[in-house]
Amino acid sequence: MALPTIDVPTFEVEMPTTKKKIKFRPFLVKEDKILTLATNGSIEEMISSCQQVLINCSFGEYDAFNSPMFELQWVFLQVKANSVGNIQDFRLKCGHCEQFTGYQLDLLSVDIKNIEKLKNKEIKLDDNTILLAKFPSSKEFSKKDVSDTHLIKCTIDAIYQDESKYTFENEPEEEVENFINSLPIEALKKLENFYLDTPYIEHVVEYTCKGCDKENVVSINGYENFFA
In the predicted structure, residue 32 carries a pLDDT above the cut 80: yes
Question: Please, what is the average pLDDT of the chain?
Answer: 90
CA distance 206 to 106: 15
Note the pTM of the prediction, 2 decimals: 0.88
Query: What tens digit of pLDDT does each residue of 46-101 get?
Result: 999 999 999 999 999 999 999 999 999 999 999 999 999 999 999 999 999 999 99
133 forms beta bridges with 156
- Alpha helices, H only, 2-147: 29-38, 43-57, 69-84, 138-141
Cite the beta strand spans of the chain per DSSP E: 11-14, 21-24, 87-93, 100-106, 111-113, 122-126, 129-133, 156-161, 164-166, 200-208, 215-220
CA distance 205 to 109: 12
Query: What tens digit of pLDDT does each residue of 160-181 get?
Result: 998 899 998 888 988 988 998 9
Give the residue with greater pLDDT, 119 vs 36. Answer: 36
Q: What is the pLDDT of residue 11?
A: 98
